[in-house]
Structure formats: structure tokens, C-alpha cells
Amino acid sequence: MISELDELYKQVILDHNKNPRNFGVLNNANSHAKGHNPLCGDQLDLYLIIEDGIIKDVKFNGSGCAISKASASIMTSLIKGKTIDEAKKLFDEFHNLVTSDPEAEIDTSELGKLEVFCGVREFPARIKCASLPWHTLAQAINENSQTELVSTEN
Ligand code: ZN
């Protein structure tokens, strides 16, 4: 199971790094946030069009390592078309996942596409890279809706 996940992790990360989804700029975005991970040098701009509490469109731009880029690509695919509440739920699930004990059993059947981030737990230095897009999303959503997303990582 572990090696299966490991393989999935590598494949998905490589694929998204090579062909990032939703990469670019949204000129008509009504929500925008910038993220920076100084430990690795990852830079990220996230653009969202939020209408009636729904993420109608999302794009990201920037430069960073394979993990941060793949994470942004996967995240934007997951949140597109979702409500703000659903995006917040995904943020919580992602956060719980990457901060959990790498030895702990995880019910991957509940995770869907977030499953791939299980692999990140084994590389603590990479957690900030994988988290960057999510924290940038939290920032963009907070600015748009004035509601709080709480993060305990820093
Ligand atoms: Zn990075």
C-alpha cells in the first residue's frame, strides 16, 4: 500500500508539474492573493472569480518547485466550481492530512484526489511547498468573504 501510494504520488506530481492545470492569469478575477515560501523560494499568484459563493474560475501563476506547482495545479482542479464552504472543507482535509503522523493509518477512500498528498507527509521539508497554494487560497477567500480560515502551520 505504501509503495503504491508512493508511486501514485510521484506520477501525479510529475504529471501536474509538466502539465499544470489552470495555469495563467485571470484578468477579471475578483479575488487575488500572493503566496511566498521563503524556505524553498516558491512564489504563487492565485486568481479567483467568486460569484454567489461559488468559485466560478481559478488560475495560478508563479514559479516554484515541482511540489508547489503540482499542489497548485491539483488544488485549482479540485476547487473549481465548488462553493466557498466546500473549498474550506478541502482546505481542512488537506491540512489535517499533511500534518498527521506519517506512520498513522489514513482512510484514503475518503480523500479522493487529496490522496496524493499522503506522500508529502514523508518529506517534512516539502510540506510548506505543498501547503503554499492552500494558504494562498485561504487568504484569497478570507479577503473576499471576510470569514476566517484558521491555520496552525507557519
Ligand atoms: Zn518548494
Domains, the chain, with CATH or none = 2-142 (3.90.1010.10)
- pLDDT number for residue 102: 75
Q: What is the pLDDT of residues 64-79, one digit of tens each?
A: 999 999 999 999 999 9
Ligand 1 centroid distance, CA of 57 (Å): 25
- pLDDT number for residue 78: 94
- What is this structure's pTM? 0.86
Ligand 1 centroid distance, CA of 111 (Å): 23
Rg of the chain over Cα atoms, rounded to whole angstroms, equals 15
Ligand 1 centroid distance, CA of 130 (Å): 7
User: 109 or 68: whose pLDDT is higher?
Assistant: 68
Q: Hey, which of 34-38, 113-117, 140-144, 147-151 has the most confident mean pLDDT?
A: 34-38
Could you give the C-alpha distances from 47 to 51, 64, 87, 96, 143, in angstroms and in order? Answer: 13, 17, 14, 25, 12
Q: Residue 35 half-sphere exposure, CB side, CA atoms within 13 Å?
A: 31
Q: Are 76 and 60 in contact (CB under 8 A)?
A: yes
Ligand 1 centroid distance, CA of 52 (Å): 33
Ligand 1 centroid distance, CA of 97 (Å): 18
Ligand 1 is an ion; its neighbours by CB within 5 Å are 40, 42, 65, 68, 129
Q: What is the pLDDT of residues 9-68, one digit of tens each?
A: 788 888 999 999 999 999 999 999 999 999 999 999 999 999 999 999 999 999 999 999
